[in-house]
Amino acid sequence: MKNVIGVINLGKPHSMLNDLTRNRSIASVPFGGRYRLIDFTLSNMANTGISKVAVFTLNKSRSLMDHLGSGKEWQLDRKIGGLFILPPAIDFPTQQYRGDLQNFHGHIDYFNRSKEEYVIVCRSHMVCNLNYKEALQFHMDSEADITLLYNSIDPDTIDLSNCYQLDIDSHRRVRGMSGDTQTGNVYMETFIINKSLLVEMIEHCVEQEQYDLTEDLIAQHIDKFSVHAFQHKGHLSIINCTASYYEQSMRLLNPDVWKELFFQPGLVYTKIKDEPPAKYIETADVHNSLIANGCIVQGNVENSILFRGVKVAKGAKIRNSIIMQECEIGEDAVVENMILDKEVCIKRGQSLVGNAAEPIVINKRSII
């Protein structure tokens, strides 16, 4: 894929995850036992063969930058192209941040200096495993100006507030997009556009003081340009609040979802920690769970996800919970319906029981 560059747009504030995004951007929220949300988008780009990707960041970027490094896990440590991490280019304190398009405008050179003809723009809270090749081919064949990627979801099964849904005609042209009409065609906030058009539209919008990528650059212009829709048929996890984070995490305990999200069509890459294989002691009792490397399990774990390096002592019981990296669960402790952020320590005999419908997040490095 030599003719495409990628953009991962993190420039839109996204505060729905509250506790989990207290000290990190949504892109670096841990997910699936060893990943961060951005890994899925980056791996999709890597598996498509895209070798030039810009990450437009907003704030709280420490964990994100640490995670991305030189981009080598995604084969983005390239002589030509590679990974660009681009924070907002605004003048402090005179200028205010006004929206993600301002980021695009501030880094317009990223586009101008690229020879590639097409740009794929996406965000990081829609988790899926996909190869953009087919969508790109569709974009080229249909001679669309813009191609929006969507996934068909039964609106009754998942809360789709905060999602755009597309109104698509029989020629796969997008006739409208909004948050109200229930079409079930959920816009994945991923689109393909001809680079020259993107640059032109960024300039145009910013001149009009319009700074919202989806609203101003796309939704406003649906009638003006030929905007087509491409359907992604695989699994999609939409993470837009703590409840959906929990629910979508638990769906990974379905082996079919596990196989699809982690293997098809490509592998998912992440920063390597060189943890040893998970160790199960004689008293370990684990059922229906995802266990990452570096864990040492002596207790009982059911319907749960253990991230890398979690220690579960003898007699401890973990149920319906997500336990992030390096947490320690003491002897005979009980953890139920909980999300434990990284490095939480639950002392011996403590009991933390939450409600599955409204899982509680325990902040990073808490000791309980």
Q: Return residues touching another protein (CB under 8 A).
A: 32-34, 72, 253, 255, 258, 261-263, 267-270, 272, 274, 276-294, 296, 305-307
Peptide bond into 359 cis (omega under 30): no
In angstroms, give the least distance from the CB of 307 to another protein: 8
Q: Containing H/E element for 322? A: strand 322-323
How far apart are alpha carbons 173 and 136 in whole angstroms? 16
Q: List Cβ neighbours of 99 (8 Å cut-off, separation of 6 or more).
A: 11, 12, 211, 212, 213
Integer Cα distance of 42 and 46 in angstroms: 6
Who contacts 125 (Cβ-Cβ below 8 Å, separation ≥6)? 14, 26, 37, 189, 238, 239, 240
Write out the two tokens for 15. 């505060």
Return the number of the residue (66 or 159) whose C-beta is nearest another protein. Answer: 66
What is the closest distance, in whole angstroms, from the C-beta atom of residue 278 to another protein in the complex? 5
Residue 325 C-beta: closest distance to another protein, Å: 12
Specify the residue, 39 or 189, whose C-beta has the smaller distance to another protein.
39
Distance of alpha carbon 366 from alpha carbon 368, whole angstroms: 6
Residue 323 parent element (H or E): strand 322-323
User: In the complex with another protein, which residue's Cβ is closer, 25 or 249?
Assistant: 249
Question: Taking the complex as a whole, how short is the minimal distance between the CB of residue 70 and another protein, in angstroms?
Answer: 11
Which one, 128 or 229, has the nearer CB to another protein? Answer: 128
Least separation in angstroms between residue 233's CB and another protein is 21
Nearest to another protein of 194, 303 (CB atom): 303
CB 47 within 8 A of CB 266: yes
Which residue lies nearer to another protein by CB, 30 or 354? 30
Omega prior to 265 cis, within 30 of 0: yes
